[in-house]
Structure 1
Amino acid sequence: MTSLSEELQRSVHTLLAADWRQRTLLVFGTLERLLLSAIFFFLLSVAERTFKQRFRYSKFFCHLTSARRAQRSELPHFRLNKVRNIKTWLSLRSYLKRRGPQRSVDVIVSAAFLIDLCLLSVVCVQLITDHTTFLNSLFNCEILLWSLGIGAYLLRFMTLGTKTNRKYCNLSVLITEQINLYLGMEQKPHKKEELMLANHVTKLAAQLLKELESPFKISGMSANPLLYNVTKVVILSAFSAVLTEVLGFKLKLYKIKL
């Protein structure tokens, strides 16, 4: 088997020995691949910027109910001790979660996930076939670089999405406000009915958020059983076979609960 350097030398020799038509075709093909790659990773960068923006909105949203954090971030501060304040808080939360491009970013992330899934499948097949000469092929090196690049973006999406979801699903604000309302009932008996109503609304809001919110999943895996099962069976089974071939003992990663 030829090494990677020998294959590079042979490719350069073939390019130099070809006529001008073949050179033109090869040059335009290379430029087209570079251009498409740049466009694809540019779209991933745009999606990452959107995820960063969502995380920044969620961080500022959590500062609204804290006097110290609101003053530090130069934001208005209000407590959740009145029904209208709770209604405003819920409406603002819903507005911020839906702000910005949603469908286009989800399409970009889903496409990147499926492409990386296909590339990883090819990598696993190549490693199972012959892992000793895997890096001697330019095709395998290119697929591996693409997989690592897309995987880095997907990991970034998952990290930012998890942090954003944790900010919006933090129910400690509502629980703390319930304690303050109970203390306010003892200190201000003449406002007991108003505080009791706000306490009931706060409890209902906490239960509603706990039931409606689901953990952040890349490409909607939790809502799409088919994609979830394909990912679990194909990727984990392929990695199990690769690690079994390389390490020498049998592994069953597909039995792991994702």
Structure 2
Amino acid sequence: MYDVAARNRALKLLTQGLTVAEVSRRTQISRWAIRDWQLRADQGMPVAPVRSCPRCDSDAASLAPGDKYVYLLGLYLGDGCISPVGDPSKRIWSMRIFCADKYPGLQTECADAIRAIRPDNKVRFLPLGGCTEINSHSKHWPCMFPQHGPGKKHTRKIALEDWQQQLVERYTKPFVRGLIHSDGSRSTNRVRHAAKAGDRWYEYPRYFFTNESTDIAQLFTDALDRLGIAWKRSNRNNISIARREAVARLDEFVGPKY
């Protein structure tokens, strides 16, 4: 929790014309906390302390457990969003992840990751017909997932903060797992091979990752590169992993959805 002196210093810098980002760099206070204080001050509301958030309470990339966080980050970038709920003045947000009902194990893993990051917040399962919305409410989702913003993800810039990049590099496999669990698949490809004796068919497994955002696709391929896993771009929005050794590597920590 930031003390009164830290909040007053941040607000004073804002009145001098500095941007929220610049104040954050100078004070090492999270941008979400500064925006919250600024909004409250503009509305004449008490500038209350920001509590119980790993990002608000620490300047280091210390979200724990880090592997659960980057897995949830992968799910959020693919099939998640952050939406305001209730009275706008209370600034409460809902993390919403959408999981197909044919993958109950994935739904459980998603809920477990949310509980690991926000153990004091309730996790809800909302059936939607063919899929389930898994959500949890908190004031701190936007500072924990700063990729939140207006509009669809593929229409705006998606980039990791430095502290997120550190976590993704430290826990690359769970990050890839989360991305594939959201916007990826493992399937069997059948190929016909013409021969003199007649057509011959052979099969091989491969992974696909599909996302309209070129930024998110880049995060995925960068992670594969760090792991030494070969990939190729099938078309504008599809990444294919089909080499036998590459598929075997992904099978070690991803595998089919369940």
TM-score (norm 2): 0.27
Structure whose alpha-carbon radius of gyration is higher: 1
* Higher RCO (CA < 8 A, seq sep 6+): 1
Larger relative helix fraction: 1
